[in-house]
Amino acid sequence: MSAARPPRAIDPTGLLDRRLVIVAGKGGVGKTTVACGLGLVAAQAGKRVLVVEVDGAGRAAVLLGVEPAPIGEARPIRPGLAAMSLEGSAALAEYLQSVVPVKRVLKAVFESRIYQYFVAAAPGLKELMTVGKIWFEAERTDDGRRRWDLVIFDAPATGHGLQYLRMPLAARAAFGAGLVARESERLVERLRDPRRTAISLVTTAEEMPVNETVEMYRQVRDDLRMPLGPLFVNRLHRARFDAADLDGLRQQATRLRDARDRRVVAEVVQRADEELGWSRINDAYLRRLRAEVPVPHVELPFLFAEEFGVQEVERLAGTIAAAVQRDTGAGRRTDSHGRA
């Protein structure tokens, strides 16, 4: 271990002042939702924001009710907010074209089978180029004016997501001298600069996601040594009644004469039990997260919706805004209970 201390966590109220915010976590915990929520908050604050993803599905656009754009194109979603899907091979081809400027003939290279081996033998080259492309967007200027104030990278699920971030480091070590090594050096420097970059983890407060989050937190802090932003704890259940209320209801229900009323009450009890159960699980894992992932937490409620769509993302954006915006005064850490 080097003597340098790991960088301090970035305060939530400063998160959106970075050039690049990376949203990472286990599959299925709501990374795209948080990325879009952050995008909405920043856009409402007057920033020009780009949400970038890499698996080509265009999830951010779909979630916000817009048809995704072709790979590499920005799709405007709202004033100040756009989404883009990137793909490693396209980013790499684009880069190589800038290195070997015989464009027409280079096409023959890309189409040859040997090219596949070349890419496979240069570990992480595609991932490296994708991160390079993301930084290109983050620093891109049109007539001297930056195109985006903020780029939000909706990273792929845990293992694969970290692979992207580890690549510049690995490449710097692997490729010795040359253009790629210099490019890697430049990226590592940017990714580790707390004024420019923050990585925020997203999780739910359940066993497997929390295990992965704790592991990921340590890797980001100790191996990648990237500046950590707040942890987003998503889908929290917080029962607004307790076991005593429920016991009261059970007792009173015995007085009911009407069979249908009894059934309704039994159903109400069943749902209340479920909500209490989830609240207990969430509470236990929140405590573990507080102990083992010592960065500020932003807590997001589970939303009961028939369909999870734009409205739900907007509601979560409201909660996120309260935590990351300076002027609201509402919040650094949302330790308070009972937010709807």
Partner 1 sequence: MAGLDDVLARHRVVICAGSGGVGKTTTAAALAVRAALAGRRTLVMTIDPAKRLADALGIRGLGTISSAVPVDDVPHGYLSAMMLDQKGAWDALVERHAPSPDIRDRILQNRFYQHLSQSFAGSQEYMAIEQLCEVHASGAYDLIVVDTPPTRHALDFLEAPQRIADFLDKRVVKWFVKPYFSAGWATMRFVNRTVGFLFKRLEDATGITALVEVSEFFTSMSGLFEEFEPRVRRVEALLRSPQTAFVLVATPEEQVLREAEYFCGRVRELGVPLRAVVFNRTHRELATARDAREPEAVRALLARLLGARDGATELAENFVRYEALGRGDGLRMEAFRRALPRGAAVAEVPNFHTDVHSVADLRTMHQFLFAA
In the complex with partner 1, the residue whose CB is nearer, 48 or 186, is: 186
Work out the angle at residue 19's Cα, subtended by the Cα atoms of residues 141 and 76, and round it to the nearest 5 degrees. Answer: 65
In the complex with partner 1, the residue whose CB is nearer, 117 or 294, is: 117
Can you tell me which of 67, 142, 143, 307 binds partner 1, judged by CB under 8 A? Answer: 307
In the complex with partner 1, the residue whose CB is nearer, 152 or 324, is: 152
337 makes contact with partner 1 (CB under 8 A): no
Task: Please state the closest distance from residue 35 (CB atom) to partner 1, in A.
Answer: 13
Where does this chain touch partner 1 (CB under 8 A) — which range of 43-51, 95-103, 218-226, 288-296?
Answer: 95-103
Packing angle between helix 207-218 and helix 259-292, nearest 10 degrees?
20
Where does this chain touch partner 1 (CB under 8 A) — which range of 186-194, 226-234, 286-294, 300-308?
Answer: 300-308
d(CA 58, CA 63): 9
Q: Find the length of the chain.
A: 340
In the complex with partner 1, the residue whose CB is nearer, 45 or 269, is: 269
Packing angle between helix 243-253 and helix 259-292, nearest 10 degrees?
170
Can you tell me which of 82, 278, 295, 296 binds partner 1, judged by CB under 8 A? Answer: 278
Binding residues for partner 1 restricted to 97-136, rule: CB under 8 A: 99-100, 102, 105-106, 108-109, 112-114, 116-118, 120-125
Task: Please state the closest distance from residue 105 (CB atom) to partner 1, in A.
Answer: 6
Binding residues for partner 1 restricted to 187-246, rule: CB under 8 A: 206-209, 211, 239-242, 245-246
- What residue has token string 């779909």? 62
d(CA 138, CA 110): 27
With 0-12 / 13-18 / 19 or more C-beta atoms within 10 angstroms meaning exposed / middle / buried, residue 132 is buried
267 makes contact with partner 1 (CB under 8 A): yes
**How many C-beta neighbours within 10 Å does residue 186 have?**
14
In the complex with partner 1, the residue whose CB is nearer, 11 or 206, is: 206
In the complex with partner 1, the residue whose CB is nearer, 8 or 248, is: 248
Task: Count residues near partner 1 (CB under 8 A).
Answer: 83
Binding residues for partner 1 restricted to 38-67, rule: CB under 8 A: 55, 59, 62-63
**How many C-beta neighbours within 10 Å does residue 232 have?**
29
Please name which of 318, 327, 334 lies closest in space to residue 38, comparing C-alpha atoms.
318
d(CA 298, CA 16): 14
Binding residues for partner 1 restricted to 151-190, rule: CB under 8 A: 156-157, 159-160, 163, 174-181
Packing angle between helix 103-111 and helix 113-121, nearest 10 degrees?
80
Binding residues for partner 1 restricted to 14-43, rule: CB under 8 A: 26-29, 32
Where does this chain touch partner 1 (CB under 8 A) — which range of 39-47, 221-229, 255-263, 319-327?
Answer: 255-263
CA dihedral of residues 252, 257, 262, 263 (deg, nearest 10): 180
277 makes contact with partner 1 (CB under 8 A): yes
Can you tell me which of 79, 304, 329, 336 binds partner 1, judged by CB under 8 A? Answer: 304
β pairing state of 75-78 and 81-85 = antiparallel
